[in-house]
């Protein structure tokens, strides 16, 4: 499921920040500006997710919403990855696409395990808040070594998911990936932890951008990157809760 959020998240890196340049006529990046844009993107995600959630009740075919959102999300992510300056135009479209996909996934999981979505949403934003506090208080320091470890871990997870997907095409399944075994739960806990740590790197990107007086449009890039990580974190928490419910 990490493919929905592309867990490795190569969007928010120091190199991308440097490529954005410094001051410009559009103004400079601020924390409040980034928060506002992040809130707007989350609102779009929720709006499209609520619409998708109600699709079964309307007897609407959910496949176009699911696959349309999935494909659009992946395509937009790849475009922004190579064209960072386009984030200010494409980030809202990505939020809407992800909302459709997440809405369908959520209604399916909620039908299997009643109340699991409220738990997953609460835990996702709880983890987000906790990591922000840990970053702001300096308990977690985003050093170059820390970044390297998290980037390596996320890349390894992405490769593992890709391998599992390819094997699945040949009906070869990795048992602990979705089953509620002890190994499966430990694996999910590790992935959730890595996704949570990835958030601190996103926070640091915002802090560095403000300190370096990055152009105003970088706020969209930062907000987009954090949304990518949040989507990944939500899906992994949802998968973990599903495993726990299976036990």
Tens digits of residue pLDDT in 142-187: 999 999 999 999 999 999 999 988 988 888 888 777 778 889 999 9
Compute, in degrees rounded to 10, the torsion defined by CA atoms 132, 134, 138, 143. Answer: -80
Q: How many domains does the chain have?
A: 1
- What would the pLDDT profile of 57-102 be if each residue is shown by its tens digit? 898 999 999 999 999 999 999 999 999 999 999 999 999 999 999 9
Q: What's residue 55's pLDDT? A: 93
> Closest Cα to residue 246, out of 175, 195, 194?
175
Q: Is residue 134 part of a domain?
A: yes
51 located within any domain: yes
pLDDT at 6 (0 to 100):
40
Helices (H), 113-143: 116-136
Q: Do the domain assignments include residue 6? A: yes
User: Has residue 40 got a pLDDT over 90?
Assistant: yes
Q: Residue 21: what pLDDT?
A: 54
Q: Is residue 22 part of a domain?
A: no
pLDDT confidence bin for 3, thresholds 50/70/90:
very low
What does the radius of gyration of the chain's CA atoms come to, in whole angstroms?
18
Beta bridge partners of 215: 28
Residue 151 belongs to domain spanning: 2-10+27-246
Q: Does 211 reside within a domain? A: yes
In a domain, 19, yes or no: no
- pLDDT top residue among 74 and 7: 74
Helices of type H across 20-143: 31-53, 62-82, 87-112, 116-136
The model's pTM is 0.88
Q: Does any domain span residue 18?
A: no
Mean pLDDT (the chain, rounded): 89
pLDDT at residue 1 in the model: 40
Q: Is the pLDDT of residue 5 over 80?
A: no
pLDDT digits (tens, 9 = 90+) for 179-216: 788 899 999 999 999 999 999 999 999 999 999 999 99
Residue 21 lies in a domain: no
Beta bridge pairs of residue 28: 215
Q: pLDDT > 70: what percent of the chain?
A: 89
For residue 65, what are the contacts with CB-CB under 8 A and spacing of at least 6?
Answer: 52, 55, 100, 101, 103, 104
Q: What value does the mean pLDDT take over residues 115-127? A: 96
């Amino acid at each position: 499921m990490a493919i929905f959020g592309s867990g490795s998240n190569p969007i928010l890196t120091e190199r991308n920040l440097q490529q954005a340049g410094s001051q410009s006529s559009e103004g400079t990046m601020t924390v409040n500006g980034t928060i506002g844009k992040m809130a707007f993107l989350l609102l779009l995600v929720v709006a499209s997710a609520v619409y998708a959630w109600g699709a079964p009740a309307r007897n609407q075919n959910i496949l176009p919403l699911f696959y349309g959102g999935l494909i659009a999300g992946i395509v937009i992510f790849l475009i922004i990855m190579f064209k960072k300056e386009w984030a200010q135009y494409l980030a809202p479209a990505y939020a809407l696409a992800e909302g459709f996909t997440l809405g369908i996934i959520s209604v399916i999981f909620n039908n299997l395990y009643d109340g699991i979505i409220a738990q997953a949403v609460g835990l996702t934003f709880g983890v987000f808040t906790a990591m922000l506090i840990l970053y702001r208080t300096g308990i977690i320091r985003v050093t170059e070594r820390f970044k390297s470890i998290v980037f390596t871990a996320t890349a390894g997870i992405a490769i593992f998911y890709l391998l599992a997907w390819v094997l699945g095409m040949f009906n070869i399944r990795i048992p602990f990936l979705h089953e509620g075994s002890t190994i499966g739960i430990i694996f999910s806990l590790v992935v959730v932890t890595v996704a949570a740590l990835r958030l601190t790197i996103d926070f640091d990107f915002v802090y560095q951008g403000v300190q370096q007086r990055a152009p105003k449009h970088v706020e969209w890039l930062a907000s987009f990157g954090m949304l990518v990580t949040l989507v990944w974190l939500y899906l992994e928490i949802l998968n973990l809760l599903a495993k726990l419910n299976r036990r």
